[in-house]
Amino acid sequence: MNRRGNHNIHGSTWSYSVPHHEEPVCFACLVECLEDDDVVMVKKRPALAETLHLIHLKNFIDDLQRNVEIAVHFSFVVLDLIENTESSFASNAVEVLLKLLSKMDSGELLESILDHIQEKMLHTENPKDSLPLIVLLGRLVKVFSPVSGILCHNYEPILQRMINGLSQPDEDVQSNTVFLFVYTFVGPWETIVPLAVQQALAQEVVCLLHTAKTPYLLRNLMALLKNLISSSDLTQMLMTLDLNNLTLLTSLKKLIINKDSDLQRSALYVLSCILSSGIEEYRNTVLNSDIIEFMFEALHSQIPDQQKFVLDCVESLCHSDLFYMKCHAVYGLESLLYALESLLGRRNSELCSTAFSILATILTRQPSSVPLFINSATLTSCLQLIGQGIQQQHPQVFLASLWSLAAVIRKTHLLLPIPFEELEKILQIMLDKLSKAELSSSSLIFRKKASHNRMEEYPKQDPMESALRIYVACIQLLEECWDDPLTCTTTYVSQDSQPTETSIQQFKEFIVNSCLDKMLPLVMKIVDRGDNYMLCQCLQKLLLELYRTDSTKCSQVLVQMTSEGLLSTIINRREEVVEMDTETQFLLQLCHVLHEEDTPEIPFPEWVHKAIPDLKYSLADYHQLITPHISEDLRNLYIFLLYHMCKLDDIPLSGQEILHIINNSVGSQFSPVQLSPLTKRQIVFLWAFAVSLLQNNIQSNNPAGALALRTVAEEPPSDWYTHHSAFLYWVFLDTEVCHKAGPQIIDSWLAGITSTCVIDSNGLMENLEENYHLFEMFANADFTEAFMMTLLSTLTEVASLSSEILRHCLEKVIEMDSSDDFVLCVRAKGRQLLQDVFLREDKSLNEDHLYNTMSIFLMTFNIPLVKLEGRDLKLFYHVSKWLCEEEVDRYPELTEMFLRLIILYIEASDSLSSSVSLMMIQNVRLLRSFEKLLHTHNPDNVAGLTYGIISYLMEFSAQTGQENNSNPCVTISIPLHPLEKRLKASSPIMQHCFLQVLATSFQCKFMNPLFKFLNVGRFNPDLNCPFSSSDITSIFCYLQQFLVHECLKTKQTALHCLQAVVNYLSYTDLKLYDDLLTHPWNTAVMEVMVQMTDDDAESIATTFNMLQFIFDSNTGHQIITESPELMQIVSRFLNEQKDNTVAKPLQHQCSHLIQKIIPEQYKQQYRTLGVQSSSNPHDIINVHK
């Protein structure tokens, strides 16, 4: 099969071993077979396949390289086969020829083949006959890219011949010819392909696009057209070519209408490439044609590429004014929204971003005279899609959606009635998205993603900047619609119902509140970073619009934002300002707000208006402010701004820099007339502020300091005080100002606190302590004395707050058991203030001042008085005089304080007690006042304290022998009934003091020349006693209950009273005496009292005294010794106390009690147990235990 009959003459030169063949294959025999016309095609096909096998052999190719003429001959044979055989065989022959060219890589061989093809084609009249060669050339150009250059340079007649053949109606020839040119026009073809060929081919392409029928030809034409439009010159020719109303656009329109999606995409792609050049002439040509209508229809496709090409076209066209003049925006909007909905559903972020950008441009550029939305359904759909876009996670989609939202918020776009509710929902979505985002990083991502944006109206922006523009648009919409009733809706209500807010009113409330509560705090976080000044300018525009909408709320926010650094940011970045008018207007408005918030009583200065345009120095350039060339108005303006920044705790400069500025403003030769009252007020504050910052470490010779001190010492606080902690620290740090104006400054500071806080609110004291460090300040005696002067403030709220603060600090000092200096200082100053109050002529505020000061003064007795001072006696005199006044019942709380003070003076020391008690006994009016307090319906505390004082006076009179005075100057009646009411009183003071007076009464056997008891004569053994036997029994029972009282002082007093009662009965009624001592409760009381004794010296001593009292009585001794259980409890208690270090001072008494508790009958019992009688009672107790 592989050898012919004459094979022997070929020899073995061209025979090669081929895989899967037993015998070598002879190349010469194969060639003869292929060129022999007598051999049928069926036999030639295997021969052609064998040659392809040979071409893969390296030794075969090497032989051909050495014998190129054989390769050329073989190529001509193959070419003849390509021309004269059926298409299937021809295609195999083409593959063999291409493989041969590829393996040999011979320019001579390629040139021979091209020469042969050219000769054939030029001598062939019918292009149809040259089709196989055209196919071969197309394959050559596609496989071997250099062939295109060779054809253009050396074989232009072939190209011209093929272009001429395009005019023939045979679409096979046309398709393969176009295929060849598709791969010819690649690379830098503009410099390779002859211009005549380019132009001729361009015309033929336009014609063929219009006449072509087969898809193959159309696809090849579109592929060639894509290459042709890469040339600007050819594009210009194609766009201007008009062959009897046959243009490129008409041809493209035909393809866009075509149902073949591939051809549609190709046509749209070509059109998008043409429009992407940005040449206005091309855009106008497209817009003046009707192709754009079919482009919008193509948006209804679900193919992403097709949608992308259409959107690219529309994005280029929508920037032209002609687009809107031709109403293309109106006609294409629904298609755009349909495509956007489809893209959002498929989450195609890139195309969604492009679609939203187009929508934003259309909404922005659409003339107000031409409505864009023809019905509410379209508008609703648009708003819903924008809302969906804002919810997307892709940053560029989110940002483009914000642009669309900002653009749609126009009265001309939003059909009546305005859908405020829908806008509110979208804005809420936006706010939630911004709130959740990590703005410090997300905004940077957004800006990076936005770098590829192609919209002219929307350069790179932070999402927050777009959000600000949206709010500005909303406020402007409110202004346009506010007076138009057709723009809003109202919910229907009955006539009897309260009127409800309209939709526009609700929307306004939402805009204002959301802007203040959410939007502005988010923006300030970015502004503080200082990396986006355009955002700061957008913020200023929004605040200006917001102020016109709701000045009250906006004023509060402006003050807050100033404290967060907005004002200092604006001043420090004045050089970067683009829109100076906007910033100047905003600064002026901000100055108005800050001035009205601070000093509304002072007219707004005119020099602010004059100086703001000249505001050019940043705060870092403060040294420029002290140069002579700066105007007075501008200097005052900088002081004005610096004052408000420091007042709101936005500290832009150091303390030393502030001093430089204000010292320079005052000048070394200060004259008060040189400064306006407002500027002087602000300089005083800045001085105090700088002193606080520098901790008073300042040099002497400060003109501003001299001005400040003179002002605060000579002028009323209303002229110079600004509520700020700096003034408080100034008083603390500067002794001179503390002495000269400390009380006035602290009074003004407290007044400022009371105007902003509720005195009784929870946490106020802790807040003051935490924020102002008052506890540390009170370590300074001068500051403490100045602060205490505010207890006498003419403002009731200030005096009350001052008292609360001092009380809080005293409690803290007492709890911490810290230095006594503060307490003693408060006591001395409090005593002085009380005397001043008593001595002053104006009595209008006496009681309030007395109450506040006395409450503080009493707390200082945590440290007892050591010795009597004359000032204490003077104070006692004033207190006694006040208690003698008839209006004492009107002030029960103050009366209680004075009674407490008298008791403290009585208990203070022996000398003081004698002096005070003697003065009271000799003061008849005071004694009558005490009697009145006992007989009238006063609070239990007041009556109880009065009983306490009476008990001390009864003791004093007994000690000094007053009971022997037969002619007393006055006799005071003491009511002791009803007993139960007083002994069961809810007030511990009443219980304790009433027990005191009972004990004293029983001790003196109800006989005292100064006091007489009511209801006497009821006790036969002693007619002076006001109690009956049942009363005494009741008192005894109550005293037993008080012995187990939680209050140790009440327990001690009850024991003292019990001893007095028992002692009294031992002289007056022995029967009742025995009955009470054998009362069944005694055992239980003793048992409970012993077991409830606290582990402290006073409590143990009280129990010891009770045991001593019981043991001293035979009956009481018998009660304990006859009860084994009680005996064991008491024995265990005494045994525990003998080793108790707390009870060490009571060891003698403990030993004495142990001896008392061991009766003789128990000693015998212990002996029977083998225990020798011991003289040491402790040993006996241990055995019993």
Q: What is the pLDDT of residues 316-373, one digit of tens each?
A: 889 888 888 888 888 888 999 999 999 998 888 899 999 999 999 999 998 888 888 8
DSSP 310: H
Helix pair 146-154, 131-143: axis angle to 10 deg: 130
pLDDT tens digits for range 813-862: 887 776 678 888 888 899 999 998 888 876 666 788 888 899 999 888 87
- Determine the Cα–Cα distance for residues 842 and 249; give it in Å rounded to an integer: 103
pLDDT > 80? residue 1054: yes
CA distances from 1085 to 331, 1073, 1089, 1091, 1119 (A): 104, 17, 6, 10, 12
Mean pLDDT for the chain? 80
Could you tell me the pLDDT band of residue 134, with boundaries at 50, 70 and 90? confident
Q: In 10 A of CB 1, how many CB atoms? A: 12
pLDDT band at 491 (very low <50, low <70, confident <90, very high): very low
Residue 490: the pLDDT is 52
pLDDT of residue 130: 80
- pLDDT band at residue 1174 under the 50/70/90 scheme: very low
What is the pLDDT, as a whole number, of residue 964? 47
The residue length of the chain stands at: 1185
> Where do the H-state alpha helices sit in 326-462?
328-346, 349-365, 376-391, 395-408, 420-436, 439-449
Read off the pLDDT band of 111 (50, 70, 90).
Answer: confident
Cα angle 823, 828, 829 (rounded to 5 degrees) comes to 100
As a whole-number percent, the residues of the chain with pLDDT over 70 amount to 84
Amino acid at 476: Q
Q: What is the band of 758 on the pLDDT scale with cuts at 50, 70, 90?
A: low
Tell me the average pLDDT across 600-624: 81
CA distance 857 to 878: 15
pLDDT at 955: 84
Is residue 624 scored above 90 in pLDDT?
no
pLDDT at 1118: 67
Residue whose tokens read 């509520």: 723
Contacts by residues 1072-1078 (CB-CB < 8 Å, ≥ 24 positions apart):
1072/1029, 1072/1032, 1072/1033, 1074/1115, 1075/1033, 1076/1032, 1076/1033, 1076/1036, 1077/1113, 1077/1115, 1077/1116, 1077/1119, 1078/1115, 1078/1119
Residue 1071 predicted with pLDDT over 80: yes
More confident residue, 1107 or 328: 328
**Contact status, residue 550 vs residue 510, Cβ threshold 8 Å:** no
Q: What is the three-class DSSP state of 360?
A: helix
| Share above pLDDT 90 across residues of the chain, in percent, rounded to a whole number | 8
Q: What is the pLDDT of residue 706?
A: 87
pLDDT band at 459 (very low <50, low <70, confident <90, very high): very low
CA-to-CA distance for 529 and 532, rounded, in angstroms? 8
Which two structure tokens, joined as six digits, stand for 84?
A: 């004269």
Q: Average of pLDDT values for 34-43?
A: 76
Coil, strand or helix at 974: strand
Distance CA 744, CA 720 (A): 11
Query: Pick the residue with more confidence: 75 or 530?
Result: 75
Query: Which of 206-210, 451-455, 759-763, 1058-1062 shows the lowest mean pLDDT across its residues?
Result: 451-455
According to the model, what pLDDT value does residue 250 have?
87
Question: Of 51-60, 173-182, 842-851, which range is least confident?
Answer: 842-851
More confident position, 1158 or 36: 36
CA 1092/CA 1095 separation, integer angstroms = 9
Residue 140 has pLDDT above 60, yes or no: yes
Helix or strand run (H / E) with residue 711: helix 703-714
Give the per-residue pLDDT at 354.
Answer: 92
Task: Indicate the pairing of strand 972-974 with strand 1011-1013.
Answer: parallel
All residues at 6 or more sequence positions from 139 whose CB lies less than 8 Å from its CB, including other chains? 94, 98
Is the pLDDT reported for residue 1175 higher than 50?
no
The model carries a pTM of 0.67
The SS3 assignment for 406 reads helix
The mean per-residue pLDDT over the stretch 500-528 comes to 78
Burial class (CB in 10 A: 0-12, 13-18, 19+), 59: exposed
Task: Please give the Cα distance from 127 to 90 (Å, whole number).
Answer: 17
Q: What average pLDDT does this structure show over 1099-1115?
A: 71
Share of the chain residues as helix, strand and coil, in percent rounded to the nearest 5: 75, 0, 25
pLDDT at 1180 over 80: no
**Residue 456 clears pLDDT 50, i.e. is over it:** no
Helices and strands (H, E) in the chain, number of each type? 63, 4
The pLDDT, as a whole number, for residue 1059 is: 79
Q: What average pLDDT does this structure show over 931-945? A: 84
Lowest mean pLDDT among 3-7, 20-24, 516-520: 3-7
Q: pLDDT band for 614, please (50, 70, 90 cuts).
A: confident
- According to the model, what pLDDT value does residue 961 have? 61
User: Which tokens sit at 707?
Assistant: 């001005």
At residue 668, the pLDDT reads 44
| Range among 349-363, 882-896, 965-979 with highest mean pLDDT value | 349-363
Most confident residue range from 277-291, 518-532, 536-550 = 277-291
Lowest mean pLDDT of 640-654, 1037-1051, 1098-1112, name the range. 1098-1112
Question: Pairing mode, if any, of strands 25-26 and 15-16?
Answer: antiparallel
* pLDDT for 452: 39
